Structure 1
């Protein structure tokens, strides 16, 4: 039976910044201007790499902060984070800083968890910019220098840098070697089409390690295969994870307090 490697990517950020639009543009090559508040949506794909199955979960969370228990659980069980703000909203960047504080408080390993900070709506930034990318990079790389993080601006509307966001997360997660220029002939094949849920079943696969050994092949085509538009949807139950592992709970209880965001 093939080994299973699992990575769970969790998107956090304020309401209306475009988290769902980024995910849907990446997975289905679709975009809509209509806004629908998200409670919690889970997308999943499986890939084969040699004899190893890579399972990628993408969790799109609520931005209105009305479900604190669900947020805590998603933070506790994530292998990587995408923190999304809108380049046109200074308040949304403050929300991203708050999200990072939640990660820092709940995760003892917050400095080792891959984080991509995504500035969406770059297509509107020429006329409505409120957050300069230099401001974000100064915060990430100067005030928080020990994080495993990357900053990118993107546009879900124009499909600008959306694929690069997920490539960056895979690279930071050590699935995809940094600086690899060979993006073809990797032997990666998708096993199953994507499915989305509004989250409610027990997940029997508990927090598998998000990293794989260095001798495995590059999986740069993961993001290329995932962005095909012929994916079929399957419903799943309403809550994606009912509990964190005992190890994760211990990490939360022992979270350090030595990193402050100014």
Structure 2
């Protein structure tokens, strides 16, 4: 998602404050962000239901629908904007409520431009980090996520095997070869690995290869064949077969689907 597609919504029933923030942010953003306003909480709540807003800057006290009400309404949304609240000195109890509800930070009136920009930049960085984590969580194979090499139930031989596999994933690995590397009988290693990792070695190897492949599909422009080769598959055909067995779709469809999802998010 490009920065220029990200939206900042300013909500305040005081025209001077609302326009002042808008002008300050537009000059600072230089076209990198879309900066919009709403003059009351009712309008803002409706827009938040139907539009993707990345940063919400709202006054805490407004007639009918307050900033606190707006923050509460966001709990129903799957993707919530980062929230900055604005208040006067006499309204600090409202600020405390907003912070308890998950607001990122607050600004006191009269607003200081330098402080406004500092807080906005920090809020947008957090929003980027939340998005990055969400995307990584979607990529992670849940079975791989459950394998903890540093956990108390993981012995040194299996830990060594996992490290070796991660470092040599592009090679034609076999269970017998990995077992020999850590000086264990292949049959014993097979039982030990499944017991401590929770999955058979062959399944672990396939899942790890496909995990790496998914990352490359989304983070590079390498061809399907090149990606398959880099994660240890000799032929495109076999790589595609294993990928489909674990993900339910082909590597090319997986890549295109995520491109389409990103374009939908931008709109």
TM normalised by structure 2 equals: 0.39
More helix, by proportion: 2
Larger relative CO (CA 8 A, sep 6+): 1 or 2? 1
More strand, by proportion: 1
TM normalised by structure 1 equals: 0.40
